[in-house]
Structure 1
Amino acid sequence: MALTVLALLGGMPSALADPSLDSLALAQQRAADALEAVTVWRGPTSGPKASPGKVIAFIAEDLRNGGIAGALRGAQEAAKVVGWTVTVYDVAGSDAGRQQALRNVQILHPDGVIFGGFNAQNYAPWIDNVVGLGIVVVGWHAAFEPGFVPGTQLFTNVASSAREVALAAASFAVVKSGGTAGVVIFTDSRFAVAQAKADDMATIIRNCAGCKLLSIEDLNLDQVQAEMPARLASLDRRFGDAWTVSLGINDLYYDAMASIPDARADLINISAGDGSRSALLRVGTGLGQTATVAEPLNLEGWQLIDELNRAFHNEMPSGYAPHARLLTPDALTGTVGEDFTYDPPNNYRQMYRQIWGRE
């Protein structure tokens, strides 16, 4: 069984709402837990054998998002192992592209569909329709939390716990600032998972006696490159030196900051997901980003294939929720390869191969 969020974050859900607790000490414990290396496999150890020849459609919300791109790479890698074909539809964040992709997938009539990075509940009627045609649908970051998604026939949602990720990022901000952070949070309220992360991070900052939440900035991920320069200038005018920490629900905010020549170099920039290549490069060099909470994206791609295989055999979802890890410069060694991707050394490829009969 996977570690639960409560175990990882101290076992006290009330800690989110109780400002009387020692916020700095609690943040230090959360950050220490999130920094622990992931070396032991806590996912499934049994399941159905995989048959070749399946066709899978991966509908990506936006492949400029390193998290979605990383999960896709993992799914493609795993699909090759079992002899499946993956057809990719990148909607590039547009409603028109999304609707066209949904129509194209129905024409393709694949065996399975992966929703990559958008809210399954918004597309429940479409999911109902294709499930009625015998097509299995799974999600990656298709809801706030992993697993069952109420109101949909999504087989399961693959993700690390969004709360785990958010609390790790915000707690590290408190620790890194010595309990005196002046924080701006960047979010994209179009996505339930993003807003939930922002809300949890805001609660942690508000519960820190010496910290101050300056602003929550709602900035669409697909507009961040165009809008970030003006937004940063406005924030500097409003808050000046009182602004010491930024928290983003995704690394894309810091991709945009890195391209702005006069962006402030003194900010502590921490991302609550997803551990993109560009983010890990910035963290490793110490330029433009202090830390990211990285999900094991490649592993999650393998899990997507495993969950589809379980559905094809009329079995239950695995129930696995991979542990995200807080990555700072010191934590990169041994977990990040030369290609700057987070890939935990927990033997997940071999474990899935054994389950599928592909040793």
Structure 2
Amino acid sequence: MHKRFGRGGPALRWGGVALLALQAAGFAGLAHADDAVANAKAAVAKYAGPQTTWEGPTSAPAPAKGMKLVFLSGDEQNDISHLYGQFMKEAGAKLGWDVTVIDGKGSPTRWLSGFNQAIALKPNGIAIFADAASLKDPIAAANKAGITVIGMHAASLPGPQPDLGLFVNIQEDPREIGAAEADWAIADSDGKAKVVVLTHNEYQIAETKSMATRDQIAKCTTCQVVEYANSPASEAAQRMPQLTTSWIQRFGTPLYITSVGDNDFDFAVPVLRTGGLKAADVKLIGADGNRSAYDRIRKGTYQTVTVSEPIELQAYQAVDEFNRAFNKQAPSGFVQPPYLVTPQNVDKEGGDKNNFVPSNGYKEHYLSNWGVK
């Protein structure tokens, strides 16, 4: 027995097999990580490319006459929300429509007050840049009064939202946005990223976007999500300095911080600058395409990319969708693909104006469809 199971016997052979198995698993893990990096780099190239193709509607019903709209801005301090109102006014004016803007001031309580104020104006339609789930009852009341409600980033996904009372919800697909944020970190780090994922889950779209980021990072076996942090968007000014300091102290550098919105980084950058951190130490990855984000990317001030939303295009789309509703037609079904703004393309596709303006002729297409100049 001892001779049979002595040195060089089954025990050693088993040890060799185990070692080979571990080596094989390691090689498989590295190959899987390599695939994740290659896939991420291909995705970055796609999302950062030109946006020249018009994928929107090619016809529209004749514009309704004398319509009144209200835009409930989620927060007029957020330049994305503010611009939606400005561009909706411009697009509405092309049809002779009146558009009123109400400031939701960044909180569900203020959204509720603002929405009730909007109903009191007895408009034909209300557009909201606020979370529809928190306004479900007043939206139902608006629908009962014959008021069409359209969401702008108001639900987890684009398209019709009958359960929420929205004729349609207009936005890029947050799952693609979240994945694009993750892909940038994976590609930029060659599969070695340590990532903090910051979200504002009072918005359904934010939860969907941030979970997509987290799940995409998980596909890279050599990357790590070190924290999934949920903090109210309306408290970014108060919370971001301490959160940023805490992440640097606990996780060290290099570190990637993703956020569902660029606005958070307005309050993170001063902390990083005061702490003497280099741009390569902490890389900020955002979404929405705020003017400040474009400026940071252009100057190399910590933020490396943003996944930008086409604000003017979506404002024109909102007016187009309202017109379809007023004419008893279905929504257009159009969803603009995401665009990844990087240091290499920051001045393209409208970037020279600090805004995502796709070169697909969207304004001309909408005006032609409406039969106006």
**TM-score by structure 2 length?**
0.86
What residue number does 1:267 align with? 282
Counterpart in the other structure of 2:269 = 258
Q: Would you say the 8 A contact 1:30–1:167 is kept in 2?
A: no
TM-align CA RMSD: 1.7
Alpha-carbon distance between aligned partners in 1 of 2:101 and 2:208, rounded to the nearest angstrom: 28
Aligned twin of 2:318: 304
Aligned to 2:5: none
Aligned match of 1:67 in 46, 58, 80? 80
Task: Give the equivalent residue in structure 2 for 1:317.
Answer: 331
Aligned partner of 1:340 in structure 2 is 354
The 2-side partners of 1:211 and 1:74 are apart by 40
Whole-Å separation in 2 of the counterparts to 1:287 and 1:277? 13
Amino acid at match of 2:94: V
**Higher mean C-alpha deviation, range 254-263 or range 313-322:** 254-263
- Out of 208-217 and 251-260, give the one that drifted further: 251-260
Q: Given that residues 64 and 92 in structure 1 are in contact (C-alpha distance below 8 angstroms), is that contact kept between their aligned partners in structure 2?
A: yes
Q: Does 1:355 align with 2:366?
A: no
Deviation at 1:127, TM superposition (A): 1.7
- Rounded to whole Å, the distance in 1 between the matches of 2:239 and 2:290 is 21
Aligned residue number for residue 49 of structure 1: 62
Counterpart residue identity of residue 58, structure 1: F
**Cα–Cα, structure 1 residues 333 and 237, in superposed 2: closer, same or farther, change >3 Å?**
closer
Offset of residue 95 of structure 1: 3.6
User: Which residue number corresponds to residue 85 of structure 1?
Assistant: 98
Larger Rg belongs to: 2
TM superposition shift of 1:332: 2.3
The amino acid of 2:92's aligned partner reads: A
CA distance in 2, matches of 1:48, 1:230: 52
Question: Do 1:147 and 1:156's aligned partners in 2 also have CA atoms closer than 8 Å?
Answer: yes
Q: How far apart in 2 are the matches of 1:108 and 1:209? A: 54
Aligned match for 1:196, one of 195, 208, 218: 208
Which structure has more RCO (C-alpha within 8 Å, separation ≥ 6)?
A: 1
1:21, CA displacement in angstroms? 8.3
Q: SS of 2:195's equivalent?
A: strand
Offset of residue 58 of structure 1: 0.6
- The CA deviation string for residues 109-129 of structure 1, in whole angstroms up to 9 with x for no partner, is 11110011x222332222221
CA contact 2:116–2:138 (8 Å) conserved in 1: no
| Of 210, 228, 238, the match for 2:250 | 238
Residues 187-231 of structure 1: CA deviation (Å, up to 9, x unaligned): 112111111111111111122122111111112111111111111
Measured in 1, the distance between the counterparts of 2:108 and 2:174 equals 25
Q: CA deviation at 1:52?
A: 4.0
Structure 2: which 5+ residue stretches go unaligned? Answer: 1-31
- Counterpart contact for 1:257–1:288, Cα < 8 Å: no
- Report the 3-state secondary structure (helix = DSSP H, G, I; strand = E; otherwise coil) of the residue aligned with 1:155: strand
Equivalence for 1:218: 230
* Pairing 1:104–2:117 present: yes
Q: Deviations over 1:59-109 (max 9, x none)?
A: 111122233223223212211211111111111113432222122112111
SS of structure 1 residue aligned to 2:284: strand
In 2, the alpha carbon distance for the partners of 1:279 and 1:301 equals: 20
Letter in 1 for 2:263: L
Out of 161, 165, 186, the residue aligned to residue 173 of structure 2 is 161
Shift of 1:337: 4.8
Normalising to structure 1: TM-score of the pair? 0.90
Whether contact under 8 Å (2:64, 2:327) holds in the other structure is no
What's the counterpart of residue 283 of structure 1? Answer: 297
User: How many residues in Structure 1 have an aligned counterpart in Structure 2?
Assistant: 338
Structure 1: distance between partners of 2:348 and 2:214: 32
The residue number in structure 2 matching 1:331 is 345
Q: CA deviation at 1:20?
A: 7.9
Classify the secondary structure of the residue corresponding to 1:259: helix
SS of match in other structure, 2:99:
strand
- Whether 1:182 aligns to 2:194 is yes
Quote the offset at 1:54 in angstroms.
1.4
Going from structure 1 to structure 2, the CA distance change for 1:355 and 1:35 (only over 3 Å counts) comes to same
Query: CA-to-partner distance for each residue in 1:239-258, whole Å, 9 max, x for gaps?
Result: 122x5211111101111123
Contact kept in structure 2, 1:295 and 1:325, CA below 8 Å: yes
Q: Decide whether aligned partners of structure 1 residues 95 and 198 sit closer, same or farther in structure 2, where only a CA change above 3 A counts.
A: closer
Secondary structure in structure 2 of the residue aligned to 1:321: coil
Task: Please tell me whether residue 249 in structure 1 is matched to residue 255 in structure 2.
Answer: no
What secondary structure does 1:331 align onto?
coil
Indicate conservation of the 8 Å contact 1:38/1:344, yes or no.
yes
Provide the rounded CA distance (Å) in 2 between the counterparts of 1:165 and 1:63: 23
Contact 1:52 1:83 in 2 (8 A): yes
SS in 1 for 2:202: coil
Query: Which consecutive segments of 4 or more residues in structure 1 shift more than 6 A?
Result: none
